[in-house]
Amino acid sequence: MRPLDEQTVLITGATDGLGRALARDLAGRGMTVLVHGRDRARGQAVVDELGSRARLYLADLASLAQVRAMAAAIKADVDRLDVLVSNAGIGREVPGGPARQESADGVELRFAVNYLAGYLLTRELLPLLRAAGSARIVNVSSAAQMLLDLDDVHLTRGYSGTRAYSQSKLAQILSTVDLAEELEGTGITVNALHPATFMPTKIVATPTSTIEEGVEATARLVVDPALEGVTGRYFDGLRETRAHEQAYDPAARAALRRLSDELVG
């Protein structure tokens, strides 16, 4: 494991909430932080706060073209990536209310932003992660998990914001376990976590935990030497536990991988 002050981490959704607090924490440990956001002014404010080693990358994760463009920009700027934290996401009814919505690519919006964008970004950045020799991928998921309907991931039938959010978060975990198996022996680990319950972020109306709890749990997966080589796991805060049983179904994971590859082209 390379010293932290020699490591570079990309955090998606780093302009507010958990992402911004995590960026502040990891920059304080000496890491170079690549800040992702949608809004230039808000993103620049984070970069200015973190200091000269931070860099800003803009993309709306509801657009696969913008995800690809951001990945290309990062590949042009750095020769390796030590950590990727896929944190960006949208909640059950935020933004846009409870009605079903679609991304720029015609994908159900929560599935697109919470899962598919991260899937594509990870695939695009794998060469940089491999170049690091030892790298970590951390997927910020949720304890809110609901059986993924692989025949209707767009939820054209029986839509609800809760169902859309919960299946997108389970999809993250299926992909985590799947990618961990694929990358076994490469030095790249892949883990997912539920950082804390109802943190005070823009998608939570009534917080019951603190941002600090979420930062502690997420930063641990990024920096803890004791987790070197630990991969394909799901954590609830600081505790390793089991996710929804579908995450451990090889057929479901393979089906999701095929579908994801089709959707991202």
What secondary structure, in 3-state letters, does 123-155 show? Answer: HHHHHHHHHCCCEEEEEECCCCCCCCCCCCCCC
Q: Residue 53 phi/psi, 5° resolution?
A: -85, -5
Kindly report the number of other CB atoms within 10 A of residue 30's CB atom.
Answer: 12
Q: Of 248, 243, 230, 127, nearest to 184 (Cα)? A: 230
Burial class (CB in 10 A: 0-12, 13-18, 19+), 258: exposed
Strands 135-140 and 83-86: parallel
Extract the tokens encoding 217. 């749990």
Kindly report the number of other CB atoms within 10 A of residue 52's CB atom.
Answer: 8
Half-sphere exposure of 67 (CA within 13 A, CB side): 27
- Catalytic hit among 119, 165, 234, 248: 165
165 in active site:
yes
Residues that are catalytic: 165
